[in-house]
Amino acid sequence: MSDLLGVAVLGAGHMGADHVRRLDQVVSGARVAAVADPDAERAKAAVAGIDGVVVHTDVEAVLDAPGVEAVLIASPGEAHEEALLAAFARGLPVLCEKPMVPDPAGALRVVEAEARLGRRLAQIGFMRRYDEEYRQLKSLLEGGRLGRPLMLHCVHRNVSSPPHFTSDMLVTSSVSHEIDAARWLLGQELTAVTVLRPRPSAGAPEGLLDPQLVLFETERGALVDVEIFVNCGFAYEVRCEAVCETGSARIGDARTMVVTAAGGARREVPQDYLVRFSDAYDREVQSWVDAARGGRVTGPDAWDGYAASAVADAGVRALETGSRTPVDLAPRPALYTTP
Amino acid sequence: MSDLLGVAVLGAGHMGADHVRRLDQVVSGARVAAVADPDAERAKAAVAGIDGVVVHTDVEAVLDAPGVEAVLIASPGEAHEEALLAAFARGLPVLCEKPMVPDPAGALRVVEAEARLGRRLAQIGFMRRYDEEYRQLKSLLEGGRLGRPLMLHCVHRNVSSPPHFTSDMLVTSSVSHEIDAARWLLGQELTAVTVLRPRPSAGAPEGLLDPQLVLFETERGALVDVEIFVNCGFAYEVRCEAVCETGSARIGDARTMVVTAAGGARREVPQDYLVRFSDAYDREVQSWVDAARGGRVTGPDAWDGYAASAVADAGVRALETGSRTPVDLAPRPALYTTP
Amino acid sequence: MSDLLGVAVLGAGHMGADHVRRLDQVVSGARVAAVADPDAERAKAAVAGIDGVVVHTDVEAVLDAPGVEAVLIASPGEAHEEALLAAFARGLPVLCEKPMVPDPAGALRVVEAEARLGRRLAQIGFMRRYDEEYRQLKSLLEGGRLGRPLMLHCVHRNVSSPPHFTSDMLVTSSVSHEIDAARWLLGQELTAVTVLRPRPSAGAPEGLLDPQLVLFETERGALVDVEIFVNCGFAYEVRCEAVCETGSARIGDARTMVVTAAGGARREVPQDYLVRFSDAYDREVQSWVDAARGGRVTGPDAWDGYAASAVADAGVRALETGSRTPVDLAPRPALYTTP
Amino acid sequence: MSDLLGVAVLGAGHMGADHVRRLDQVVSGARVAAVADPDAERAKAAVAGIDGVVVHTDVEAVLDAPGVEAVLIASPGEAHEEALLAAFARGLPVLCEKPMVPDPAGALRVVEAEARLGRRLAQIGFMRRYDEEYRQLKSLLEGGRLGRPLMLHCVHRNVSSPPHFTSDMLVTSSVSHEIDAARWLLGQELTAVTVLRPRPSAGAPEGLLDPQLVLFETERGALVDVEIFVNCGFAYEVRCEAVCETGSARIGDARTMVVTAAGGARREVPQDYLVRFSDAYDREVQSWVDAARGGRVTGPDAWDGYAASAVADAGVRALETGSRTPVDLAPRPALYTTP
């Protein structure tokens, strides 16, 4: 018998298939034991060449398959609540892609269910916490060398948005990364949101409010501004500058080769988040596998998933009304630490 | 008889004395003909070692001194309106330090007076328009290669603020540079202001709202955000990123010597605006002298001075109310071009 | 039965122990099956907490241990020849740390032994070929967009050298990385070496000629200069600039977080090669494991190991004589491709 | 009567005309009093629009013209010795473009003539000493914070060379700037030269050995390597890294706007030395005018001009022979300080 952690992967789309590849070829100590997808052919394609994987269209059947010791949820957000509760019922450690649950009410039900269990099972897929530069920044801020953080200036640009991307999704899907990163970097909850809408870019699909400038206030008076621009056409860029009382720190100018030719010095800029954050994804999953094999759960927790949903929900209302919108958070169960 | 342009300098404080030195030692084609300051000793000190300069406490006396062919106004802002009108009355070309006139009503009277003359006499001291990097950015935006500008992200940091600096002055004095730069770079008027107030830095004097995040909207839908932080303690930094439809452009990361030692690669950052913008000041005054000797007036005009006052005035109200505040601009006389 | 590749690790020192950790915790698809070290306690310490590992002081015993399917050689360079030949005798794929064999005669014997086998078994541990920036540079040069490479400017700095490091070892141990990188990037053999010796740094141990400037000529007329400085005291830095006919490309300016504080903008610089090249080591070993599981051997080959020894040997003579010293290479067996 | 310094400019070619413009329009406190050029039409064209300038084909006539108080020599190098001696005979302060005198024997005669006068009259046009970044580097090295300099790595690239540029001229004309900069930065004489010749670039004119790698040794054991590449086609780049015992310092990565578009982040690189060093030229001439008006002579002296000629002369022999070539310097007269 192998001592590799047997993982059930729920969802075999773009992200699910990438995680199957990662578990099989990159991460140490894990194996893909089962895969669930409503489209059986897609599930089979994702595990082609891997031996001994149970494939099924039914989530419960996959969770109960022999050798399943942990669950990685990469299905659409709407399916997450049911999958998380099913994993909790079986006592299985879970890595759940973001958003944990898109609507705050459902997210809160997950938090309450885990709080009733009295122990953590879920890690939420905010992979930026595993990015080397974000960790440097977190460590710097926690060390206190620059004093208290006053502002975060964030930039989040995609070359283009997927089909059917809506104006709400700039906040709920794209900015959700900055929501979690800001909570984590600052160690504070976000308390209010304002969304400003410049005239849309000619490169944005008809009707999409792109770019937006999203402003967050925090419980201890810091400000976070986020440029979100999902059809910028020229780069995948994620930058963050923390402005503190005695210094500022910037991350996100990718390290790379500089080519000087034809009158300019040019460095390549990544075009895709799987390029920019590939190391972070690898570390995230490796870290989850290592903890699960040791009987532990670490990383972003269900409260982080819930808080991100609640803030994003306020952001959607702020986008619609054009007004500053307070964030409404339930009381935090004792199981969860501060962000 | 010399063919150097005879300049009367009004005000012999920090900035006035620096302009005296510049006219005497740096700029070609000009000489200091007269200096006015209410403090005669200070005026004398400013021209020590320069021959043949008329020194007086009275502005009119200085404007009428022999050899005066042009006026550089570096007195406090409250004295500018009277000085500008006096120069107009004599038909003298003027370089007037910013703010042209602090209150919008007074600024509008200057605009109307010059419009009645029917020809330009005043250049306003927005020296960033003469900075090499700002000019590169302006040229890039005008060329249209990156499409329409959607947002400007600006950072403006001072090591410390002068004594008696008030929360209003972060907008009216410091951000006035960004107000002009945004109008000039975008070629649009600013139409509304919002000011956000994070919890003040521990390094700010008691009662000063520092830093602030100032947001401007423009007549064609662009957004401008400005971090203004006048007691950051660590650097004089002025940065600007223009986010456009097909690319972004950044200026303001001064590139000087990089020293690698003791585990870090470090480049010096200027601590003072006279260091960061010394070339811009030199070019500004040289450009003014060259134009005046040729019987012309170029550069930022009285309308630019008025618009900056009007926007800053709206900014002060936005800071007080915490609300989005529209900018109220008078109709633009035909004498003046778009920003 | 597990389908993980069973690896015997020879040598349990600093590098060997790090590879044991990597095989156990980082790399996918491999397990540590056996470890050999003359110091049995050190070998045991390296595999503490890993189940089912055979530990022995004898190399042959370890190669013949059950489950051994591949060999990673991390013992001192003097032991490599015997270990490589023993692996060849058993038909085991090998990853051999550099130097493959320190003296060119021994290295040539390894080449000839593998050539007699008629198939590749050895991959040599030139891990820079797996560094992301080096791969970008290699790809750029091969693409031909910048024309033919004319010069490489290389910098290789260590904070401090290990005890007993000799002046020869700056060339044979440190510069051996540049020797391989230059051969690989340019696709050419190195044909002559000159070593210049500036007055040693006060930070260098008594008698050590540190830094040195090492110059290589290539078979098609390119020049390679290498600053090697192993007691610089301030940084682990590896940089390379390729100067080509229509452009230049630079790698090695690690871009991490930039902290602006107290008058300077500073980015951290790594102090250790295990930090700078940790990803490259991971990729190197993963790539070797993946190939071995698929019955293949890829990466730098025994000829590369031999050529590096031959060039370094000429370098030592160049250091001693102060003169330009030609490199003497045996004919290349058909098994091996160009560098 | 004007108190502007009356300057005679010898030579009205590219550089002479640029200095006429600089004296007339940029520099404070000087005026063009006379211009000499064998081509009278070219001389007239250079001073078009400037009043009261004596124009003549004869150098002596121009030096004796009314109002001439100082001389700027911008004629071809072969004419410098005679012009310098003529200025010395009249006690006129001189700014002489580099090379001071191309052949070391002639340069030494100038040194001896000035030494006989017993006071300095000549400043030599090594304008890099007036570049802001070079001055920062000089100041850092003199301060001693990084310990003793061990090596200088220099890069000097031109987009293309002028017609009739010879292989010798890479050393005598282009590298002469690095010769002076190295002497000045290190405060040491250069004692030997070696020139390496990679295969020429396809972009170099037929027969021109371009690029070259020039190596200098100094009297206290430092090494200087210079890449000189005068037909690189892509940039005017001048970089210098000083490697010291406890740190390194780099200059020459020009500060400028960064444009991110179409997958790359690009900053403009200057194409011309008049762009890269325009501020240095302005400061050089201003500094000379200021000193001359005060009855002083400062800046690089005739000994610096002679030493540059002597080192370049050894460099030409090193290029021809392919061997290390010692530099032969005459004893330094007491009038001159160390480099």
How confident is the model over B210-221, as pLDDT tens digits?
Answer: 999 999 999 999
As a whole number of angstroms, the distance between CA B36 and CA B13 comes to 11
| ipTM over 0.85 threshold | yes
Predicted confidence band of residue A107 (pLDDT cuts 50, 70, 90): very high
Residue A144 is predicted with a pLDDT of 93
Predicted confidence band of residue A271 (pLDDT cuts 50, 70, 90): confident
Q: Is the peptide bond before C211 cis (omega within 30 degrees of 0)?
A: yes
Cβ pair D133:B279 closer than 8 A: no
From the candidate CATH numbers 3.40.50.2300, 3.40.50.720, 3.90.70.10, 3.30.420.10, the one assigned to the domain spanning C5-128+279-301 = 3.40.50.720
**Does any CB of chain A come closer than 8 Å to the CB of residue C207?**
no
CATH code 3.40.50.720 region(s) in chain B: 5-128+280-301
Q: Interface partners of B (3+ CB pairs, < 8 Å)? A: A, C, D
As a whole number of angstroms, the distance between CA C223 and CA B79 comes to 67
On the question of pLDDT at A1 being above 50, the answer is no
Q: What is the mean pLDDT of residues C238-260?
A: 86
- DSSP assignment, residue C25? I
Q: Supply the mean pLDDT for chain B.
A: 94
Residue C269 is predicted with a pLDDT of 76
Q: Looking at domain B5-128+280-301, does it have CATH number 3.40.50.720?
A: yes
Amino acid identity of B36? A
Q: Who's near B198: CB < 8 A, 6+ residues apart?
A: A150, A151, A221, A222, A223, B211, B212, B213
Listed by number, the residues of chain C in 122-181 with a beta carbon closer than 8 Å to a beta carbon of chain D are 147-148, 150-151, 153, 155
On the question of pLDDT at D271 being above 80, the answer is no
Q: What percent of chain A has pLDDT over 90?
A: 88
Residue C9 is predicted with a pLDDT of 98
As a whole number of angstroms, the distance between CA B311 and CA B328 comes to 8
Kindly list the residues from chain C whose CB atom is less than 8 angstroms away from the CB atom of residue A253: 255, 258
**Does any CB of chain B come closer than 8 Å to the CB of residue A113?**
no
Strand bridging mode A264-268 / A30-36: unpaired
Q: Interface partners of A (3+ CB pairs, < 8 Å)? A: B, C, D
A322: left (phi over 0), alpha (psi -120 to 50) or beta: left
Predicted confidence band of residue A255 (pLDDT cuts 50, 70, 90): low
Predicted confidence band of residue C255 (pLDDT cuts 50, 70, 90): low
CATH code 3.30.360.10 region(s) in chain D: 130-272+306-326
CA distance C315 to chain B (A): 29
As a whole number of angstroms, the distance between CA D96 and CA D103 comes to 15
Residue C284 is predicted with a pLDDT of 95
Residue B254 is predicted with a pLDDT of 63
CATH code 3.30.360.10 region(s) in chain A: 131-272+322-326
Q: Interface partners of C (3+ CB pairs, < 8 Å)? A: A, B, D
Residue B272 is predicted with a pLDDT of 80
A31-45, A249-263, C311-325, D105-119: least confidently modelled range:
A249-263
Predicted confidence band of residue D2 (pLDDT cuts 50, 70, 90): very low
Residue A254 is predicted with a pLDDT of 63
On the question of pLDDT at A260 being above 80, the answer is no
Residue C25 is predicted with a pLDDT of 94
Cβ pair C264:B267 closer than 8 A: yes
Listed by number, the residues of chain D in 243-302 with a beta carbon closer than 8 Å to a beta carbon of chain A are 253, 260-269, 271
Residue with tokens 């089979």: A44
Q: What is the dihedral of CA B9, B12, B13, B19, to 10 degrees?
A: 40
Interface test with A, best of C259, C268, C269, C277 (most A CBs within 10 A): C259
Fold for the domain defined by A5-128+280-305: Rossmann fold (3.40.50)
- Nearest to B306, CA basis, from B179, B210, B186: B179
SS3 B65: coil
| Identity of the residue in A235, A263, A267 whose CB atom sits nearest the CB atom of D235 | A263
A106-115, A308-317, B270-279, C15-24: least confidently modelled range:
B270-279
Element (H, E) at C265: strand C264-268
Cβ pair A146:C261 closer than 8 A: yes
In order of A127, A186, A337, B53, B248, the CA distances from A304 in angstroms are 13, 13, 10, 71, 33
Interface test with D, best of A157, A227, A255, A260 (most D CBs within 10 A): A260
Residue D254 is predicted with a pLDDT of 62
Fold for the domain defined by C129-271+306-326: Dihydrodipicolinate Reductase; domain 2 (3.30.360)
On the question of pLDDT at A88 being above 60, the answer is yes
Chains B, C: CB contacts within 8 A come to 43
Q: Supply the mean pLDDT for chain C.
A: 94
Cβ pair A199:B213 closer than 8 A: no
β strands within A53-93, DSSP E: 54-56, 70-73
As a whole number of angstroms, the distance between CA D250 and CA A232 comes to 35
Q: Cβ–Cβ contacts within 10 Å for residue A34, how many?
A: 25
Report pLDDT digits (tens) over B309-332.
999 999 999 999 999 999 999 999
On the question of pLDDT at B172 being above 70, the answer is yes
Residue B269 is predicted with a pLDDT of 77
**Does any CB of chain C come closer than 8 Å to the CB of residue D24?**
no
Query: Quick one: B132-272+306-310 is in which CATH superfamily?
Result: Dihydrodipicolinate Reductase; domain 2 (3.30.360.10)
Cβ pair C203:D148 closer than 8 A: no
Query: Quick one: A131-272+322-326 is in which CATH superfamily?
Result: Dihydrodipicolinate Reductase; domain 2 (3.30.360.10)
Are residues A135 and A280 in contact, defined by beta-carbon separation less than 8 angstroms?
no
CATH code 3.40.50.720 region(s) in chain C: 5-128+279-301
Give the class (CATH, top level) of D130-272+306-326.
Answer: alpha beta
Kindly list the residues from chain C whose CB atom is less than 8 angstroms away from the CB atom of residue D147: 201-203
CATH code 3.40.50.720 region(s) in chain A: 5-128+280-305
